[in-house]
Amino acid sequence: MPAVTRRSYTGPEDLRAMQGLAQRIWSKASSLHVGDLAWQRFQHTGREAEWPTVLWEAGGEVVAWGWISLPGELMLLVDPAWPGLASEVLGWFEDTASAAELAVTVLDAEKHVIAALERSGYALQQSSVFQSYMSRLLVDLPAPVVPGGFTVRPAGPDDLARRVAVHRAVWHPSRVTGPSYRNVMAAWPYRSGLDWVAEAPDGRFAAQCLIWLDDRNAVGELEPVGTLPEFRRAGLGRAVCLAALHAAHHAGAREAVVYPVIGHPKSVAALPLYRNLGFRPYARTLTFTRTRRRIPPSPGPASPKGACQRT
């Protein structure tokens, strides 16, 4: 096998390489969609020092990477063909993180990473809060039913302020801003035709659904989705999601996935919505933690990377 080299993240081109690994190993045993990485990296600005990131490469391709959200949370992706690298990523995490308790969240199907966590002394935490991984094929999609007076359409380049406003109101408190959303819109694989909103009679955006399309695997991911509190239970969330799903199907998607957080107060309506849309669970996240006695000195400014927060 080719030699493996390790290096720090240097910028958006490296994110694209990390997305390349996500595409190559995409299946229902993979925890990350290319759109999830873009959204998490670009939804906020000014957080680079909080996100140390390292890439492992072999044969000109990224075969593993780790992304820390300081002080002590890790997201990682490891090619199953290189299972030994999971332990290397965990070793780097321990050397870099500054928290007394380290936390790693993985998909329950990532058996090679779970095995490395257990070998490294991590224990599975029993929690009522987790992400449910859900999917549906984009066949037999019903037509969206839009409440009277509302319009469902893609957001355009002149809609930035309202697009940011609906997101910030839905996910309050949110760190998404106009400049950060411009970064989202400039990121691969964002498509303006898959960024849908429901416009209220007073001109406000009342609901949102952004779909990210992985054209290599023909899978679209819904991230983020939300409706303003005063417009909930009116069918707007269903309507805007269906409109966006039809657009994704037209753009080449055969399947869609969504990852609602179960057990969190902000997401109480998410599971019924996605079930109503025909999504069914196929996996869930697991969180492993490890408490250590010796904490290394806090690192200085770190390499850029996207974070695990979703707001």
Q: Which amino acid is at 283?
A: A
Of the chain, the end-to-end C-alpha distance in Å amounts to 40
pLDDT digits (tens, 9 = 90+) for 122-143: 999 998 899 999 999 999 999 9
HSE toward the beta carbon, residue 242, CA cutoff 13 A: 18
* Whether pTM exceeds 0.95: no
The beta strands (E) that lie in 114-172 are given as: 123-124, 130-137, 151-154
Rounded to an integer, what distance in angstroms lies between the CA atom of residue 302 and that of residue 53?
8
Spatial contact of 260 and 272, defined as CB atoms under 8 Å apart: no
Q: What is the pLDDT along the chain (311 residues), one digit of tens a residue?
A: 799 999 999 999 999 999 999 999 998 678 899 999 999 999 999 999 999 999 999 999 999 999 999 999 999 999 999 999 999 999 999 999 999 999 999 999 999 999 999 999 999 999 889 999 999 999 999 999 999 999 999 999 899 999 999 999 999 999 999 999 999 999 999 999 999 999 999 999 999 999 999 999 999 999 999 999 999 999 999 999 999 999 999 999 999 999 999 988 877 889 999 999 999 999 999 999 999 866 666 555 443 333 333 45
Cβ–Cβ contacts within 10 Å for residue 253, how many?
24
pLDDT digits (tens, 9 = 90+) for 194-246: 999 999 999 999 999 999 999 999 999 999 999 999 999 999 999 999 999 99
DSSP-derived letter for residue 45 is S
The β-bridge partners of 152 are 198
What SS3 state is found at 8? strand
261-262/73-78 β-pairing = unpaired
Q: How far is CA 273 from CA 41, 74, 200, 227, 235, in A?
A: 26, 29, 20, 11, 10
